[in-house]
A and B are shown apart, each in its own frame.
Chain A
């Protein structure tokens, strides 16, 4: 039962990932693509947790922590650059 629920959640997460990827590909302005980048990296954190559950190894969660930090840093840097240039 729990396995089935995790499969359903993985399907929904993959669909969300593909929708955000469509916005990253299409996005008319630069800021649209930055928003899509933010959402893609946040969904990827959920993907890392799913991988850790599937493999049953808790060490993978460290990667999720580093990932959250770096996606935040990237969004801040590009927003500062778009605003007036670092």
Chain B
């Protein structure tokens, strides 16, 4: 790897993405209940993975098409899996944190049934 400006930018993007991944892992350990963990775990890691893939595309410009495909796939599938998981956890009836103020899904299903 030569030290061109593009490779420096790619390395910085890579470090930024890895920092977001670290924040996601930290949130996964520190957050009080499951729904906060889903928030911290999936949103942060989506952004971190996208930044990482962008950094790799800057470091190796030949791979950018394949990296774009992976990024598109992560961007499409990761929110779906987090939403399905949150709905499953809500239907399992897991206890929420004491700090939870509002739960619209419980209100909606409670009014209907």
Q: Taking beta carbons and an 8 Å cutoff, which residues of A are in contact with B?
A: 1-6, 8-13, 15-20, 22-23, 29, 31-32, 34-36, 38-39, 42-43, 45-46, 49, 52-53, 56, 58, 61-62, 64-65, 68-69, 72, 75-76, 79-80, 82-84
Measured CB to CB, the closest approach of chain B to A73, in angstroms, equals 9
Q: With a CB–CB cut-off of 8 A, which chain A residues contact B52?
A: 9, 46, 49
Secondary structure type dominating chain A contacts: helix
Is there an interface contact between B88 and A82, defined as CB atoms closer than 8 Å? Answer: yes
Is there an interface contact between A58 and B66, defined as CB atoms closer than 8 Å? Answer: yes
Name the interface size band of chain B.
35 or more
Q: Which residue of A lies closest to B67 (CB)?
A: A61
Is there an interface contact between B41 and A38, defined as CB atoms closer than 8 Å? Answer: yes
Give the residue among A32, A42, A43, A64 with the most B Cβ atoms within 10 A. Answer: A42
Q: Which residue of A lies closest to B89 (CB)?
A: A31
Is there an interface contact between B11 and A1, defined as CB atoms closer than 8 Å? Answer: yes
Is there an interface contact between B25 and A16, defined as CB atoms closer than 8 Å? Answer: yes
